[in-house]
Every structure is written in structure tokens, then in C-alpha cells.
Amino acid sequence: MADALISVLLEQLASVVYKHTNAAVKLVLDAEKDVKSFSSKLKAIQAVLEDAEKKQVTEASVEDWLKKLKDVSYEMDNVLDEWNTELLRQQVEEKQEVEVDNALVTKKKVCFPMPSGCFCFGKVNKVIHRHNIAKRIKELNERLTLIAAEREMFGFHQTTIGGHDEQLIQRQNTSSLVDISMIFGREEEKKMLLSKLLRESNQDGGKLLVIPIVGMGGMGKTTLAQLAYNNENVTAHFNKKVWVCVSDPFDEVKIAKAIIENLDETQSSSNELQILLQSIKRRVEDKKFLLVLDDVWTEDHKKWENLKLPIIMQSCAKGSTILVTTRKEGVAKMMRATSSMIHSDKLNDKDCLALFNSIAFLDRKEDQVTEFGAIGEEIVKKCKGLPLAAKTLGSLVWYKKTKEEWRDVLNSKIWELEEVEEQVFRPLLLSYYDLAPTVKMCLLYCAIFPKDYKLRKDDLIEFWMSQDYLNSKGKKEKRRIGQSYFESLAMRSFFQDFVKDELGNIRGCKMHDIVHDFVQFLTQKECTIIEAVDGANQSTELPSDKVRHLTLKNVAKGPLPTLCYGCKNMRSLILLDSEITTISPRSVMQMKCLRTLNLSDNMLNEVPKEIGELIHLRYMDLSWSGNLKELPDAVCDLYNLQTLDVSWCPHLEKLPKAMGKLINLKHLYVWACSELRYLPKGIGSLKSLQVLDRFYVCEGDDDEALKLGDLGIMDQLQGILQIERLGKDDASEIEKAQLGNKEHLSRLEVLFHGGAAEQRKGDEEIVKALQPHQNLESLLIGYCQIGTTESLYWIKSLHNLRSVSLIGWRFCEVLPPLGKLPSLEILEIDGMKKVKTVGVEFLGIEEEEQVSGILFPKLKRLEFREMRNWEEWAFLSEITIMPRLSELRILYCPTLKALPEFLYKIPELRTLEIKGCPILEGEYEKGVGKEWHNIFHIPNLTIGWN
């Protein structure tokens, strides 16, 4: 971890020297010499860090030396950040002075008020503060001198700096490596498991069957369970299925809540176990129920009895089953299920090699397979039959292009280590040491999350950014660097269980339990997860003052616990599954080094003004704070803040006026803040803003409100932008917003005022003015009150558009011309109540036009909903239309008479759903409808509500 920290710090040292060479902005007059000296020593130390990182596993003295090095590096990082923050404060103050002067001259209102005072030093205080910074830098330089001298006693080998950059050069089909989910050598276990699951009852005659899958870590127990869980026959066999990740500790209440949430997607507010168990029983009674408990550790029979699952499931239908994965055979004994136990043993050499080769030789030429095959076989022998080890090493050598690099993996001294806790840690260490320093740092940061935690990719990247792990010497934007790092870690098998959006983009993932154990093994006391004790909201004791990243779980309703010891060096605080209502000023003042603060999904009533003292803070997540009404003005003193998330705060009424002072703000999330009337005007000065997920159009003339036209300077906006509450007067503002220049936006959502009694003429001008950049991939326009689609003419030019949703166009009589969009995959038409016919205009052609080629060439999913007057769907039969359509849903279209014939001939159509369409339901009724013979071949058919 030290090499990553040093790499980041060296970049900051170089940056700070560059920034402060100009005499006009020079802040600490006598510190520059010490900064350069410190940097020079760090570079010398950096050359031996790779060897030191490896030796610390076996040599305690090296580990102690690295700890001292990290301590002084972290402290220097803090001092430099203070220095830089003071410079930022000066910039903001100078800007305000200019604006005040302009206001006096022009008598115009100032955009934001004067500073709140967090860093408003008098001239004397400024001199004292700068002297203190210089003094601390000098002291740190002296400490580093001693540390640098000590390195000589360890006999470290020097390595070339910067030799890992090639890992970010990705070959063409790297995404396919992420998607590999094949299973090798488990056919017998799979066959046995399916046989047990599909039985009607236990062999001893009881209703309930408990099946434990037992095996050491990295053996593929969860993969085997997933294969069975997702099997079509298993899905058809059971009425209800639930998957719950258990892990350690075994929390009966949490498990019961998870079962309820998975059964019907509702959260229970009760924490009473008996109430929860009764709720489960009601939901599964007389149902054939499959419950998977993944990763069970406890052998405590009392805890298992408290959960009462066997008793509850006796009320289920015959054949109900509990499937358990565990590393401990004692768990199967505790559950009295040893007779049904399935052992997940080591793979044989053949299957292990097949798994390794499927990854290592992906996209390689046949002659390379022959050339490298013998070395690969020797590497696989090192895996000792562990599937995760084979997968990890396959991912590692996939990057290696020469025999010499493959032999380096084979002959690594890491295989000789005996001190590591698990066999599979050795191949993970090999893959870890092959990472670039900053990518290592990003991986290790994941130790802050508990096992089975669902990681959101965008959140993870912003966490990394807040810790300054994504700095770059070039001009590459940090978010893109973070995406590259995420992909690199995913392709090396550090992440798994990927969650994708409707367009196939990765949105989230998990870490394998063994990988999680591995990163915790490497971070030791720096990353700590603490479970709160019931009723103990007063204080929490940290294990040491070396804790840099802390996660608190299950903190009960009340104040944030006071962190009694060691929190002064803390850089991250994350609360999970907690209900804190307040944060005391004392708690805030304890955490002066904090970079990342995640208080999402709590019950916060307010944020104290002392939050402005956290000058290093870069990430603050207050989302899902149901009682939060406003933020203190002191938030605007957080000059380093990059991410502010207040989404899903339904009672948030306003944001601070002075948000223009947040000159480093890049991500502002305000989604689903229904009481937020407008965004403050100061945001309009934030040219570097990259994410603004929702824009609230102010309903009145308020000089303090951000106007749509103010978005014109924000050409760096990316991801999603939703514009809400559009009305008749916004066409000129839309033009000023220059959406056509925002080439990084991937999704645009535009929502007009709904519920109009008649058409709004202004809506047509607004639609004309929208015209986004041709890079746009997803478009939603809702509640537009126009009669035609002529103003949507520009949509034909959006050749990268993959998803279109048109919702609530209640006065529109025709569908827009979409058939020639070459990339369109998903199309949703909802609430066009005046449309009577869907014809050639929808295809984007004229009646008499001669058409060659394919229309809707990539469309996969099509949904029509609430088309109350739609009667006819007719296309020209000689045209090839929608050849790749796989899902079609027609919902609440009561007057539609028939489906077009071309649909019957689409080979890829796998799902057809017709509901709320009485005429169609009669025509296509199973077995008796006169058109049934045209659709019965479609695998997934839903006709009507039965």
C-alpha cells in the first residue's frame, strides 16, 4: 500500500511546487526548499518499495518501517492539502471582492454572500498559519531523512518506476473476459444438487429438505448454488425463491428482514424477530419455497434455533428446501443435514487447466496456445485444484505477452510463502503485485465495505477520487481513469457478480469472499469495520490511531457515536444499515482529516455548521435523509469538495446560496428532492461540473434561481441529466443551455408540466430547441403536450441512440419516425392516448418511398402502454422490420385488434406479454384463440392476467 501512497504524494509534491513558484501566489515563503528535499527522498525510497511490499509479509521489521513511512507520508499529504486549501480560499475571496466591487458600480445583486469565516484569518493570523505550515513541513522532512537512512539496513532491490502502465492498454474484447461465468468440473455435483432440489420431499419422509454445500474458500460453492438457483427447471419447480447472503456474524434479525425484502421487495420496519418470522410464515405458507443461505459460518445451534426456519418451512408445501453454502462441515451438523451434504472438492488437473485456459487464452491465436501451453500447465499445478486460483492466474497471464513474463509468474518466490493465511492468497498476491501502485490503492480501499456488499461502480470511482487515487500526469479526466482502473480490477477477477443496466453497461459488482479476506489481510488495521452494540450509541472505541478508513454498521436511532480514540487520522467514515439522527459538533471536530463522509440512508435532521471545518473533505453523501430540510451555509467553505449527494431527500427545501464557492465541485446529485423549488444561481459559475443529475426549473421569477441557460457553460456534463418542470416560457433558455455541445452526456430526460387540459403551443418550440449532441445514447421525453412529432425532427440524426422513452404525450396523434435509427435497442411508448394507427410513419419512411435495408435493425425490446385508442398496427409486408426483437409487451391497449404478421416470423422473439387488451387476449388465447397458432412457439408467453 505504501508504494501507491508514495506515488500519489509525489504527484502532489510536484504539483504544489509548480503552483507556488509564482511570487504572486506564493503562500509559504520558506517551505519550498523542504518540499523539494522531501520529494527527492521519496523518489529514492520509491525505487525499493516494490521489494519492501513483498518482504513485509515475512519480515516484521520491514512492516514496521513501511508503517513509519506511511505515517509521515499521510501527514505530509495533510499539510500540503492545507496549503492548497488556503490558496483556494484566497482565489474565492479575490473573486468575491471583484464581484462586490462590480455590484457597487452596477448596483446588481451579488451571487453569493461573504465567507462564513472558516478560513477568514486576519492578516496576523494568516502569517501565523503560514509559518505553522512551513514548520510542519520542515519537521516532516527531518523525520523522512531518518526513515530514508533506515532503508539501507534491509538490502532492498531496486525496481524500475512506472513499469505497470501497460496494464491500462486494453485489447479489443476485454469485456468478454469480465463476462466469463463458465463452470468446470462440477457436472457431478450439479447433477446431484438438481436431483435433490427437484425431489418432492426429503428421503426420510419430511416436508423440508436442508442441503449444505461444503468446501474451502475459493472452491466455487456459491457458483454451484447460483447455477442451480437460476436453472429453468428449478425456477418452474418452486413457487417462491429467495437468496440471502449471510456471512459473519450470523444476525437473525438481519437475515429475517432480507428474506422478507426478497420475497416481495418491501422493507420491514420492525426489529422484533418474532414479528419478522410470523411475516415470513404468512408469505410462504402452502408455497413450495426455496431458500438459499449463502456463506454461513456460525456453528451455534442456539442461533439457528432462534431463526426457526425449519419450523416456519414446515408450513410450506411439500418439497420446500433450504440450500446452504458454507466452509465448515460443523454448520451441516448444526443443521442436522449431513445426510444431504454435497462436498465441493478441488478440481482435477484437467478441469483446472480448462478453466485457466478459457481465460488465459481468450482472443489469442492458436499458435500462441501451442507456444505457451506447457508453461500454462505448470502454472495450473500451482493452483492445487482451487478454481478461484485458476481464474485469478488466468486473468493475470492474459495480460502477459511473452514466455518470459509467463515464466516469471511460474517461478515467483510468492509460491514459497508460508505466512499467508489461505492457499488462494498466493495467486492473489501475484496478481496484486502486478498492478500499478494507484490501482493497488483502489483495490485495497474496497476493504472498507463488508462482505457481500453490492458495490456501485460510479460510487466506488468517486470514493477513489476523494482519496486522490486517480491523479494523472496527463490531461486524462479522473472519472475516466477510475473507469479504467475498475475495468482492470474486474478483468483480473478481483470483482465478480456484475450488475448491468438495460443497455449492458456495468453498474455494480461484488467481491468474492476470499478476495475480501485478502484485501483485509493486506490493509490490516488501516481499514476497520465495526458493528455497533445495541443501545451503545454514546461512543465507539477504535482499535488504534492507525485507522484511516472506518465503517460503522447498525448504529441505532440517535446521535452519531463519539469516536473515543484514534480518529484524528481518519480519512473515511461510512455508515451502513444505520439510523443516526444528528451529528454533534464534537464528533465533527474529531475528524479533521476526513476526505470521505458517507451518511446515506440515515435519519438525519440537520447537519451542523461545524462541517465547514472539514477542509480536506472531498466526498459527502447525505442521500436518503428523510428529515433533512436544509444544509448549513458552512458547506460552501468546503473548497475541496468534489461530490455532494443529497438525492432522495424528500423534505430538502433549499441549497445554500453560496455554492459558487465550491470551485472543485464535480458531482452534484439532487435526484428526487421533491420539495426543492430550484437550484441556487451560484452553481452556474461551476464550469468544471461533470454530473448534475437533475435540473429543477424555477416556477417563478426568482433572481436567486439557476436558469436553464446557465447550463450553457457546463460542457463537461456527463452521465444523466434530467430537466424537470419545463413550461411554456423555457424555449429560449433551452437554446442558451446548448445541449448540442454536451458531448459527454449519455442520457437526457426532459419532463414537462403534466396534466394540461389542452395543448401547449410553447411545448413545440421547446422540443425543437432541445436537439442534444449526436453522442447521446438514451432519451426520455415525458408529458409533452403537442399534437404531432414534427418538432422532433432532429431525432433522426442521433445515430448512437440506444434507448427511447416517450411518456404521456396525451395529445399526440402519430408516432415519431424512429425506424431508421441504426443503434436503437429499447423503445417505450407510454400514454399516447390519441394514436389510432401505427403505420409507415413510425418506420421513418414515406408511403411511396422505396426502402432498401432493414428498419429498426437492432431493436431488442419494444413496449406499448396505455394506448387507449390504438386500433391498427400495419406495416408493409415486403420490408424487413425488427429482425432482432426479443421482447414485446403490449399493456392496456383495449382497442387494438391484431398484431402485424411480421412479428410471427421474428426468430429471436422470446417474450410476448399482452395484458389489459381484451380484443388481443381473445384472439391469442391459449389453445382456443384463432391466432394462437401464430404465437405458441414463443417461449415466454403471458396473455391476460392468468
Residue whose C-alpha cell is 444505520? 578
Under DSSP, the state recorded for 833 is: T
Q: For the chain, which ranges sit under pLDDT 70?
A: 1, 15-30, 99-129, 159-182, 200-207, 265, 418-422, 472-475, 533-539, 564-566, 728-729, 755-757, 847-852, 876-877, 946
The Cα–Cα gap between 269 and 279 comes to 12
Q: Is 419 helix (H, G, I), strand (E, B) or coil?
A: coil
Alpha helices (runs of H) in 446-528, residue ranges in sequence order: 457-466, 478-491, 513-523
In the chain, % helix, strand, coil (3-state, to 5) comes to 40, 15, 45
pLDDT of residue 830: 96
Enumerate the β-bridge partners of residue 530. 552
For residue 755, is it left (φ>0), alpha (ψ between -120 and 50) or beta? left
Q: Is 158 helix (H, G, I), strand (E, B) or coil?
A: coil
Sign of CA dihedral 445, 448, 452, 456: negative
Contacts of 405 (CB under 8 A, 6+ apart): 397
Q: Following DSSP, what letter does each residue of 9-44 receive, concatenated?
A: HHHHHHHHHHHT-STTT---TTTHHHHHHHHHHHHH
- How distant, in Å, are the alpha carbons of 462, 582, 628, 631, 666 from that of 673? 21, 20, 11, 13, 19
Residue 325, number of CB atoms within 10 A of its CB: 28
Under DSSP, the state recorded for 182 is: -
Q: pTM for the whole thing?
A: 0.85
Residue 688, number of CB atoms within 10 A of its CB: 11
CA-wise closest residue to 245 among 343, 336, 326, 337: 326
541 within 8 A of 565, measured Cβ to Cβ: yes
pLDDT of residue 384: 84
Alpha helices (runs of H) in 492-623, residue ranges in sequence order: 513-523, 585-590
pLDDT of residue 720: 96
Q: What is the CA radius of gyration of the chain?
A: 31
pLDDT of residue 119: 40
The Cα–Cα gap between 201 and 208 comes to 7
The Cα–Cα gap between 567 and 384 comes to 42
- How distant, in Å, are the alpha carbons of 70, 580, 909 from that of 555? 31, 7, 49
pLDDT of residue 421: 61
- How distant, in Å, are the alpha carbons of 739, 786, 814 from that of 749? 12, 17, 21
Residue whose C-alpha cell is 474529531? 590
469 within 8 A of 488, measured Cβ to Cβ: no
Under DSSP, the state recorded for 266 is: -
Cis peptide bond upstream of 561, omega within 30? no
pLDDT of residue 28: 56
Starting from the edge strand earliest in sequence, which strands make up the sheet with 506-510, in order? 455-456, 506-510, 496-500
609 within 8 A of 587, measured Cβ to Cβ: no
Please state whether beta strands 562-565 and 539-541 pair in parallel, antiparallel, or not at all (unpaired). Answer: parallel
